[in-house]
């Protein structure tokens, strides 16, 4: 395999979604609608052209995602230790299929850049470090990262020793950042609450009007 085909993506949907549940419609954020498509649809459309394969990390009943044509993998570490467990599950899945790296992205981020793999890879190589994550507007986004599958054993050891914060673990290993400009909307804008979904819909509608679509 060569080029982006050496990279697989893990779409992270393993969280509890408690803030989104505040409107009484449940906490399964990836299945919430934005402009007639689910948040998962938006994430898949952004990521698919950049990678050789995609897998969905989600806990609970996997059949709720049966219409997406994705294999669903649960955390391999018990008690919902956070997104690092989803990254690890993606690493294990990708390594078993011959991929060298995993792109991790959350499924509540509908405006993901179309050049994530290229930019993260360039940052990683340029800094000569193991990992690369995204940043924008003065904030880092450690859930959006490029991870060599060769680090899976080290990550699992960290998780089983109690590591939970992504940036704490990446800081130990060595991480570079691909920084993105913030235009009308942050490319890593994430939908945590019902009002965030409304804001994202307004942004999409405005862009469609400006582009004449």
Answer yes or no: is pLDDT of 70 > 50. yes
- CATH 3.40.50.170 for domain 3-211: no
The reported pLDDT for the residue numbered 204 is 86
The reported pLDDT for the residue numbered 78 is 81
Q: Indicate the pTM of the whole model.
A: 0.90
The reported pLDDT for the residue numbered 71 is 97
The reported pLDDT for the residue numbered 210 is 59
Give the SS3 label for residue 45: helix
Packing angle of the helix pair 83-96, 152-160 (nearest 10 deg):
150
5: DSSP letter:
G
- Residues sharing a CB contact under 8 Å with residue 175, sequence separation 6 or more, in sequence order: 129, 130, 131, 132, 133, 142, 145, 167
SS3 content of the chain, % helix, strand, coil (to 5): 45, 20, 35
Neighbour tally for 174: CB within 10 Å: 13
Q: Binning pLDDT at 50, 70 and 90, where does residue 11 land?
A: very high
The reported pLDDT for the residue numbered 24 is 42
The reported pLDDT for the residue numbered 16 is 47
Stronger pLDDT, 67 or 78, i.e. the higher one: 67
pLDDT, tens digit (0-9, with 9 covering 90-100), for 124-155 = 999 999 999 999 999 999 999 999 999 999 99
The reported pLDDT for the residue numbered 212 is 53
> Which residues share a beta bridge with 54?
9
Q: What is the largest CA-CA distance in the chain?
A: 53
The stretch 70-80 carries a mean pLDDT of 90
């Amino acid at each position: 395999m060569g080029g982006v085909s050496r990279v697989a993506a893990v779409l992270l949907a393993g969280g509890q979604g408690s803030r989104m549940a505040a409107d009484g419609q449940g906490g399964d954020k990836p299945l919430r609608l934005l402009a007639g498509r689910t948040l998962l649809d938006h994430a898949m459309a952004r990521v698919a052209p950049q990678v050789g394969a995609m897998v969905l990390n989600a806990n609970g009943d996997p059949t709720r995602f049966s219409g997406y044509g994705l294999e669903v993998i649960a955390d391999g570490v018990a008690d919902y230790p956070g997104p690092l467990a989803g990254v690890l599950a993606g690493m294990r899945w990708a390594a078993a299929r011959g991929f060298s790296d995993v792109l991790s992205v959350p499924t509540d981020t509908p405006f993901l850049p179309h050049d994530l793999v290229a930019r993260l890879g360039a940052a990683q190589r340029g800094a000569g470090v193991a990992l690369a994550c995204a940043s924008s507007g003065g904030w880092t986004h450690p859930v959006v990262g490029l991870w060599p599958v060769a680090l899976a054993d080290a990550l699992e050891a960290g998780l089983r020793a109690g590591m939970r914060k992504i940036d704490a673990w990446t800081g130990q290993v060595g991480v570079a950042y691909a920084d993105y400009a913030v235009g009308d909307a942050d490319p890593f804008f994430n939908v945590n609450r019902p009002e965030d979904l409304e804001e994202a819909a307004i942004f999409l509608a405005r862009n469609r009007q400006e582009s004449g679509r």
